[in-house]
Amino acid sequence: MTNGQEIIIQQVNNNPMNILFSNKYLLLFLRIVISFVFIYAGIEKISDPEAFAISIANYRLLPIETINIFAITLPWIELVAGILMLFGIAVKENSTIIFSMLTIFTITIIISLFRGLSIDCGCFGKGSQIGMMKLGENTLMIIASFLLILFGSDFLKLKSNN
């Protein structure tokens, strides 16, 4: 590595934004918040799959034959990803799963808003309408999950005996 390359790497590592966003306490906070959101959302949907299936159907984006498959499997993916992330297991991988789900959910909400639909988002059971507030919430969680993809969060994770 040349002296110029070392200086560039040092400048990137000393960038105030990089230092802020790679702070282990911030990353732990983001990990816990996102974990609890997805654990709660998964449990709510698992407890009432019929209501979640209706929420999915209201978006009018999926073939009717696939709605029950999504209503049954998606909450379990949310729950497992949330639990694993909470304990610090495969944080980057689970953050990628959550980032992907949030991105798809957000695109779905945007499409539905452009179509003029006023529907329940299906996020946490019943009662949460799609709208700008939901887009803002999702955007913040997308940013948080992206930071966890970039920087991980090994602080206070469950340790293996290996």
Q: What is the pLDDT of residues 21-68, one digit of tens each?
A: 677 888 999 999 999 999 999 999 999 999 999 999 999 999 999 999
On the question of pLDDT at 134 being above 80, the answer is yes
Residues ≥6 apart with Cβ < 8 Å to 90: 84
Pick from 75, 111, 93: nearest CA to 149: 93
Radius of gyration of the chain (CA): 19
pLDDT at 160: 54
Tell whether the model's pLDDT for residue 82 goes beyond 70.
Answer: yes
* Model pLDDT, residue 9: 46
Give the global pTM: 0.82
Query: Can you give the pLDDT at residue 78?
Result: 97
Tell me the mean pLDDT in the region 5-25.
60
| Sequence-ordered list of residues with C-beta below 8 angstroms from that of 149, at least 6 positions apart, any chain | 92, 95, 96, 99
b/e map of 58-91 (b: 16 or more CB within 10 Å)? bbeeeeeeebeeebeebbeebbebbebbbebeeb
